[in-house]
Amino acid sequence: MIQGILLNCRKDSKSANGPIPLEFYVPTIKLLVFGFLLLVLSLPAHTEPTDKKVLIVYQKSQGFSQQLIDQLQASLPKQGYLVSKMILKPQQLDLLTIRKQSLLIAIGSQTTKALLEANINTPILSALIPRHISNSLNLKYPNRKNWSRLLIDQPLIRQFHLITALLGSNKKAGILLGPYTKDLTKSLQDISVKTALKINIEEIKNTDELTSSLKALSNKSNILLTLPDPVVYNKSTIRGVLLLAYRNRLPIIGFSQAYVRAGAIAAIYSEPKQISEQIINISTRYFIKNKFEKNEYYPDIFSVALNKNIARSLGIKLATNKAIIQQIKKAEMQQ
């Protein structure tokens, strides 16, 4: 384009008095070049969205899950992803739309189940899925490739670091395991040795054994560590567990903010913004390597909820959230 302009300048650079020097046209040429550059720079940048089409799939969008969806919709496009969302209706699964995607982000267990049952080839990253459901789905679909999940459960060793940050290292933690968590016995024992935090474990098969096992733990433990097991801890048992522990002056470590509001002294959890950040990190690594680096991910980023009123009534003085989180992170860096 510029060369054409220069040729035209040369053709027209003759007058009755002879050729006009090319320098006469330099200001005009500079202006044209500057305008051309502005035109190029003003063109929209292409981030190859066809290579990064992400579909957020969900069945319910309320409370925590809605907050996560909102965070993902706000954050993913900033990383160059073309993002859309779909309410999953198992009887009317839009396979055509799904097959056009580069990655599916499945919110929740029911959404994950429906997508796995559909036997689609599109890669799936599940979020807000409990460990025990992840295990059962993995057994049911052992050959499913390109499926990974970010668990809602916190790493076990992080729970041990929390207890140490709250009460010190010379304590005994009581742990009640049910059908969905009994497979963790060996891991808990190994972590106990690694962290020098002693533990007492009781196993139950059903809720009929709950009261007697809790009483046994309260007699030989300084704190009760709860782990997500729907048989042991559910809507019908939580009140009884909290009352029994409180009567026996046994502080409880919960596994959610709701548990802390109900009466546990502390819990580690991940906020929607923190989960969204890790989902983006996992997705970025996926598109670089064209595969998931792990089948399961535990939350990397976390927060701590405290119930200082309950702790105070039990004679426990808690440090600040910030100090506790810093101590946990320091312990994790050293492990």
CA dist 266 and 256 (Å) reads 9
CA dist 63 and 82 (Å) reads 25
Backbone angles phi, psi at 224, to 5 degrees: -105, 120
Contacts of 315 (CB under 8 A, 6+ apart): 249
pLDDT digits (tens, 9 = 90+) for 132-142: 999 999 999 99
CB 167 within 8 A of CB 316: yes
Contacts of 99 (CB under 8 A, 6+ apart): 120, 121, 122
CB 240 within 8 A of CB 269: no
The one-letter amino acid at 71: Q
pLDDT digits (tens, 9 = 90+) for 79-116: 999 999 999 886 778 888 999 999 999 999 999 999 99
Is 319 a residue whose pLDDT tops 90? yes
Which of 310 and 33 is assigned the larger pLDDT? 310
Q: Give me the chain's average pLDDT, please.
A: 87
Q: 168-182: buried (b, 16+ CB within 10 Å) or exposed (e) per residue?
A: eeebebbbbbbebbe
Backbone angles phi, psi at 132, to 5 degrees: -70, -30
| Predicted pLDDT of residue 222 | 94
CB 195 within 8 A of CB 160: yes
3-state secondary structure 91-115: HHCCHHHHHCCCEEEEECHHHHHHH
Domains in the chain, please, with CATH? 2-40 (no CATH), 52-152+277-284+292-297 (3.40.50.2300), 156-265+307-334 (3.40.50.2300)
